[in-house]
Structure 1
Amino acid sequence: MDRPELGLQQLHAFTVLAEELHFGRAAERLGIAQPPLSQQIRRLEVKVGHPLFTRGPGRVALTPAGNELLPAALRALDEVAVGLDAARRVGSGAAGRIRIGFSASLALTLLPGLLSAHRDRCPGVDLEIREMTTAPQVTALREHVIDIGLLREPPDEPGLSTETILSEEFVVVLPAAHPLAARRVVPVEALADEPLVLLPRSAGPTVHSRILDLCHDAGFEPRLGQQAVEWQTVCALVEAGLGVSLAPASIRRIRLTGVAYRRIEPNTARTTVAMAWRHDDRNPLVSRFLETVRGAS
């Protein structure tokens, strides 16, 4: 059996007339003349197959069929209103879900403030956070697994837009008992005989190369030791005495009692953090998050 298609305009006219029980007052509330209102009610009655109102001189009343339809009509109009509001909120970027990738070191610096600012600005948006290094973030953006990447040293990747939000210096990470930890500033060349604990090149090619360039500029070929895919693990390996590391300054927030962080000399190299997104992404949730980041930078 085919279901009748009831127009929202007709249902709205029906509910207003059911409240007023007067064609003149109902037409005034609806902002239309009485004849168009009467036509809408008659069309609805044709679809129902029965009169919805009894009409008499100066008197309008709901029929049993009208009484039966009224609660359903009110529910339908309310559900549509709720749906329209939800659609508007999602369309404006005020509601929905956004997936954000982030480099682990940002959890110690930028990330908490950015997430807090965006939750204050868009409380209806669900934030899905995924920790991953730079290369996996680029892949996840290409494959639509995440919507925004907060990553270190983003590559020049076709189809992605990037914007730098932070530039920071490098520091040396030393075991607390290491002789160089007694210095306030450590010359990079003093690390020539030390095994370097680093992230693998595959996790962040640019920052990996930048660290090696620091060593080359200081006149030595670094001794590459253990590798770890997260900076916290790098620091733990240094604490265990497996080597030293050169790392972004933000990792100084990783508090390990057996680790010392010192500035380096020369102190000219920088590592950048950027946000990245698909340049053809028209998702308003992405635009709103980019605005939050720009406002906080």
Structure 2
Amino acid sequence: MEFRHLRYFLVLAEELHFGRAARRLAISQPPLSLNIQQLEASVGARLFDRDSRGVRLTAAGRAFRESATALLAQAEAARVLAREIEAGAVGRLRVGFVGSMLYRGLPQTLREFQAAYPGIHVALTELNSQEQIDALLHDELDAAFIHTGRVPDTLQATLVHSEPFVCCLPADHPLAALAELPLTSLRGEPFVLFSRKASPDYYSRIFDMCAAQGFFPQIRHEVRHWLSVVSLVSQGMGVAVVPAALERSGMAGAAFRPLADAAVRSEVYCAWKTAPDHPARDHFVAMVAGKPAQRKRSHQEKATGPGTDGL
């Protein structure tokens, strides 16, 4: 039994006339008769009565008509779905993100993406950079926003956001009265920082920034989330060096000041797995990157690129 047989059957079931049915199908009458015979042989039942009075559906034919209509409808739905998936218009997209992306335009990007592709269901998961890389490698995420451009060879990464680091202080701290701070002004201050285990690259980056200015930060508290850093600072538990986007967190009790001598920037990359094919993911990457995501980072770029791996 072929879908062609079902289409021919349904047209004949509507017309109940071989000549008219053949004209609708744009074929001659003998092929139509042959296909109906093949269908009846495949089903194992007579679907039409044919005599001098015309063509009529049998009881088996009437029952078969309902099933044939449903089968063709399902086939058409499957065809449309396949074409929409191929075009990236429907499907499921699993996106990982570091917490700072909530203040770096991720909500707005998701709204724009959903408006452009309403048939794609986006599921978000907050993880640190290394956890997202592992999830990409194990096909548990389709795209990820991470703080490092150093990724395994099976992944691609493109820079989507870059901004300066700033100082986060308790609002009543004497240094908060300054419009801009030298990093050396934080010498001797208790620091709030990500734990070395959760974010080794970010931890090292802050140490390197301070070491370049001739001192090492005195780590008082280690946490795993950006908002935890800002929250502890707002409660007078120390100072921190954070991406400028965190100022938009609106945390009461925290003050943010530019760093006068910090050339290092906080960067976010969008990463994804090279295979398998995923049109919806490709549309998403193109939107966040502002261009088609086709270029793979070279080994040299991976070796020399910044690696502020954090939460």
- Tell me which interval the TM-score lies in, with the shorter structure as reference length: over 0.9
CA distance in 1: counterparts of 2:272 and 2:56, whole angstroms:
59
1:82-107 superposed Cα distances (whole Å, 9 cap, x missing partner): 22222222232211111110000101
For residues 236 and 149 of structure 2, the distance between their equivalents in structure 1, rounded to whole angstroms, comes to 31
1:76 counterpart letter in structure 2: L
Q: Which moved more, 1:249-258 or 1:199-208?
A: 199-208
Q: Pick from 117, 126, 139 the counterpart of residue 122 of structure 1.
A: 117
Residue equivalent to 1:254: 249
- Uncovered stretches (5+) of structure 1, i.e. residues with no partner: 1-5
Alignment of 1:98-113 (within 5 A): 98-113=93-108
Say if 1:155 and 1:206, in contact at 8 Å, map to a contact too.
no
- Secondary structure at the residue paired with 1:235? helix
Q: Which amino acid aligns with 1:24?
A: G
Counterpart of 2:219? 224
Alpha carbons of 1:50 and 1:143: their partners in 2 closer, same or farther (altered >3 Å)?
A: closer
Deviations 1:121-163 (A, max 9, x none): 1111111100011111111111221111111123232321100
Match of 2:206 among 207, 211, 214: 211
Read off the aligned partner of 2:43 and give its amino acid letter.
V
Tell me the equivalent position of 2:187: 192
Provide the residue aligned with 1:236 in structure 2: 231
Aligned to 1:285: 280
Does residue 173 of structure 2 align to residue 178 of structure 1? Answer: yes
TM-score relative to the length of structure 1: 0.93
Segment drifting more, 155-164 vs 95-104 = 155-164
1-structure distance, mates of 2:266, 2:201? 9
Task: Specify whether residues 80 and 130 from structure 1 end up closer, same or farther in structure 2 by C-alpha distance, changes over 3 A only.
Answer: same
What is the match of residue 294 of structure 1? 289
- Structure 2 stretches of 5 or more lacking a match? 293-311
Tell me the matched-pair count.
292
Match of 1:3 in 2: none
Partner of 2:31, secondary structure, is: helix
The aligned amino acid for 1:155 is R
TM-score (norm: length of structure 2): 0.89
Rounded Cα–Cα distance in structure 2 between residues aligned with 1:14 and 1:171: 73
- Cα pair 1:173 1:246 within 8 Å, conserved: yes
RMSD: 1.8
Paired letter, 2:158? E
CA distance in 2, matches of 1:195, 1:296: 42
Partner secondary structure for residue 186 of structure 1: coil
**Do structure 1's residue 69 and structure 2's residue 64 form an aligned pair?**
yes
Cα distance in 1 between the residues matched to 2:42 and 2:291: 57
